[in-house]
């Protein structure tokens, strides 16, 4: 391809709306253009890279035994009503009505559609296991689209779904997809780490996220350097470290006018935040329940919701709090509460703590939870932070930031039960199929490559997903001898299967060098009259400052050898 014929305009300045480096570089390098918030057009250069990511995903899915299908993006809302997710997905789902006033959705995911499909296609255990996948556009009405392709309203995802006869068989399908994901991200040149994760709106009992470590990542990752335990902060656990405090006097009511927050209380009492207990009132599927956490910690709502097995968990409003506790918001406490009370397990054995007194402008000191309150259970409820003890080895953990590029779930029978997706076993008995689901954000993966692989001059593409493997810079477009060498190199490299972008513009060499670094082709080849006079063409890797002068007749072999070495480095 010749640059002069390519729809490609690079930018020198960062776009104003871009917040992270990958977004800035993808716009500056002419890969994408913004239509409106969360909506982007892929330009020719960006689409080539996107297709290469998609092809890697497709090859590894096929290798793992999955079969490709394509399901509609437009879905009848009745399917989502059957699973119960029409309500729980909330405003993040695009909804519309057809001309017959039937409610439809633009699919954010396809568990309902695929389960309904397989329920009609599979009847016997002989047809299982079966894994299907698609690479398709998804829609989510993000409240705040940001970071370019990272959080967009329309994006491309690979979603796969496995159907098995048993939990044991489903584990094998899960592992096959897990291993395929490891290969996919390795081939894309990404350092992606699998971490334990919360299942969220998808459901199921177990999942792993594949996270690309990056300072700009929206997700917190809890990591144990000692033993390798890693989990998304929504899922992460910590070691059981009960308080085991000494005995204390009976609770004492203290006037605390207008002291509603932990900061207010620490200032008033002159003691650290961990000597207080937060009492948080929630509604779990409409029923009030209390969560207790140390004053210096925050409740992990995902853990609490999972513990209660609740479909919906929301913070109680002021009216409900006063009805349940007898006091306005800010003065709730566990002593005397008659609703279920769950405490973080670090409060097991906690004594001489200060809590709300369930009375306006009043707190209780000298509270011993197990003596003075009716705690239903002590569980892991807090958001894990840096320095917390690892649940596996007990050593201190640390927080890192990551970009989620893939997610694998063990769903069990959550959806097959809703859609009566059954099969006949070898005894002729009807059983529910066991499911797993597996997603990769294809567009997000593409941007994650840029986020993880760049320098001050631009993108550094892995050769596997680079729009063009070789940037061939024609420095003297009016010199017939130079043009002849470029033409011959372009044709020879193309015949060897290498993508070549020839910069044939009538621009200064400095402009061409800057653009070559910005768009980030793995191999840069420079052909000019001065170089030919010295005896050859210049070859340089994007990852190196070293420039090698190679005789013209050896150039194609040298470039092809470099490309082979770069490819093998991704897939040893």
Q: Residue 202 above 70 pLDDT?
A: no
**Mean pLDDT score of the chain:** 94
Task: Return the structure tokens found at 311.
Answer: 């479909």
* Residues 184, 190, 194, 198, CA torsion sign: negative
Compute φ and ψ for 181, nearest 5 degrees. -65, -40
Rounded average pLDDT over 440-463: 97
- pLDDT value for 216: 81
- pLDDT value for 343: 97
| CB atoms closer than 10 angstroms to residue 536 | 19
- pLDDT value for 201: 56
Q: Residue 203 above 60 pLDDT?
A: no
Cα→Cα distances 326→3, 270, 285, 362, 374, Å: 73, 27, 22, 12, 17
Rounded average pLDDT over 88-104: 93
DSSP 3-state of 176: helix
Q: Residue 500 above 80 pLDDT?
A: yes
Could you tell me whether strands 287-294 and 341-344 are parallel, antiparallel, or unpaired per DSSP bridges? Answer: parallel
Q: Residue 205 above 70 pLDDT?
A: no
- pLDDT value for 498: 97
Task: Return the structure tokens found at 143.
Answer: 């409240």
Q: What gap in Å lies between CA 58 and CA 54, rounded to an integer?
A: 6
Q: Residue 535 above 90 pLDDT?
A: no
pLDDT band at residue 331, thresholds of 50, 70 and 90?
very high
Rounded average pLDDT over 245-258: 93
Q: What percent of the chain has pLDDT over 70?
A: 98
Rounded average pLDDT over 129-139: 97
Full-model pTM: 0.86
- pLDDT value for 347: 95
Complete DSSP assignment for 216-236: T-SEEEEE-TTT--EEETTT-
Q: What gap in Å lies between CA 106 and CA 104, rounded to an integer?
A: 7
| Residues 279-306: tens digit of each pLDDT | 999 999 999 999 999 999 999 998 999 8
- pLDDT value for 530: 93
Q: Residue 204 above 70 pLDDT?
A: no
Q: Return the H-helix or E-strand segment holding 24.
A: helix 21-28
Cβ-based neighbours of 135, under 8 Å, separated by 6 or more: 54, 57, 58, 68, 156, 157, 158, 442
Question: Is residue 410 within 8 Å of 174, Cβ to Cβ?
Answer: yes
- pLDDT value for 197: 78
| Residues 7-42: tens digit of each pLDDT | 999 999 999 888 899 999 999 999 999 999 999 999
The full set of domains in the chain, from first to last, is: 15-237+399-451 (3.30.930.10), 252-379 (3.90.960.10), 468-570 (3.40.50.800)
According to DSSP, residue 202 is labeled G
- pLDDT value for 243: 82
- pLDDT value for 217: 82
Which residues lie across from 524 on neighbouring strands? 471, 540
Across 191-205, 231-245, 324-338, the highest mean pLDDT is recorded for 324-338
Q: Return the H-helix or E-strand segment holding 366.
A: strand 362-367
| CB atoms closer than 10 angstroms to residue 51 | 16
Instruction: Say if residue 129 is preceded by a cis peptide, omega within 30 of 0.
Output: yes
- Range of weakest confidence among 118-122, 198-202, 243-247: 198-202
């Amino acid at each position: 391809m010749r640059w002069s014929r390519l729809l490609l305009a690079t930018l020198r300045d960062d776009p104003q709306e871009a917040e992270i480096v990958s977004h800035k570089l993808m716009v500056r390098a002419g890969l994408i253009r913004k239509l409106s918030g969360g909506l982007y057009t892929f330009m020719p250069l960006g689409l080539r890279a996107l297709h290469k990511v998609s092809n890697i995903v497709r090859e590894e899915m096929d290798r793992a035994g999955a079969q490709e299908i394509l399901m509609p993006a437009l879905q009848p809302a009745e399917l989502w009503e059957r699973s119960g997710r029409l309500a729980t997905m909330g405003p993040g789902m695009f909804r519309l009505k057809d001309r017959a006033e039937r409610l439809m959705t633009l699919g954010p995911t396809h568990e309902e559609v695929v389960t309904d499909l397989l329920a009609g296609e599979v009847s016997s255990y002989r047809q299982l296991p079966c894994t299907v996948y698609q690479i398709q556009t998804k829609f989510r009405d993000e409240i705040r689209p940001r970071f370019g392709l990272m959080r967009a309203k329309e994006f491309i995802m690979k979603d796969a779904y496995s159907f098995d006869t048993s939990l044991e068989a489903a584990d094998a399908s899960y592992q096959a997809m897990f291993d395929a994901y490891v290969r996919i991200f390795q081939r894309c040149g990404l350092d992606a780490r699998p971490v334990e994760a919360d299942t969220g709106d998808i459901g199921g009992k177990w999942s792993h996220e594949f996270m690309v470590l990056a300072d700009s990542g929206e997700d917190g990752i809890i990591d144990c350097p000692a033993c390798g335990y890693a989990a998304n902060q929504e899922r992460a656990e910590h070691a059981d470290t009960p308080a085991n405090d000494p005995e204390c006097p009976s609770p004492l009511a203290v006037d605390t006018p207008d002291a509603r927050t932990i900061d207010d209380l620490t200032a008033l009492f002159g003691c650290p935040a961990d000597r207080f207990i937060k009492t948080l009132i929630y509604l779990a599927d409409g029923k009030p329940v209390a969560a207790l956490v140390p004053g210096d910690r925050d409740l992990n709502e995902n853990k609490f919701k999972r513990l209660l097995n609740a479909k919906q968990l929301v913070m109680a409003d002021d009216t409900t709090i006063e009805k349940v506790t007898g006091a306005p918001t800010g003065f709730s406490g566990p002593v005397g509460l008659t609703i279920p009370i769950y405490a973080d397990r670090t409060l097991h054995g906690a004594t001489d703590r200060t809590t709300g007194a369930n009375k306006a402008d009043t707190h209780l000191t000298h509270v011993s939870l197990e003596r003075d309150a009716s705690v239903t259970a002590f569980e892991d409820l807090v958001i894990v932070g840096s320095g917390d003890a690892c649940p596996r080895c007990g050593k201190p953990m640390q927080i890192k930031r990551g970009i989620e590029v893939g997610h694998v779930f063990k769903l069990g029978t959550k959806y097959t039960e809703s859609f009566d997706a059954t099969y006949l076993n070898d005894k002729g008995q009807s059983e529910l199929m066991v499911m797993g689901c597996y997603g990769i954000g294809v567009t997000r993966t593409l941007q994650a490559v840029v986020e993880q692989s760049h320098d001050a001059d631009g993108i550094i593409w892995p050769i596997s997903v680079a729009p063009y493997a070789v940037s061939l810079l024609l420095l003297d477009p009016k010199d017939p001898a130079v043009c002849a060498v470029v033409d011959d190199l372009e044709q020879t490299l193309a015949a060897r299967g290498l993508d070549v972008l020839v910069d044939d513009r009538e621009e200064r060499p400095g402009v061409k060098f800057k653009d070559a670094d910005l768009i980030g082709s793995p191999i840069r080849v420079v052909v000019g009259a001065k170089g030919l006079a010295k005896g050859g063409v210049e070859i340089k890797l994007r990852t190196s400052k070293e420039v090698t002068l190679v005789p013209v007749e050896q150039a194609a072999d040298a470039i092809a050898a470099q490309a082979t070495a770069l490819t093998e480095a991704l897939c040893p």
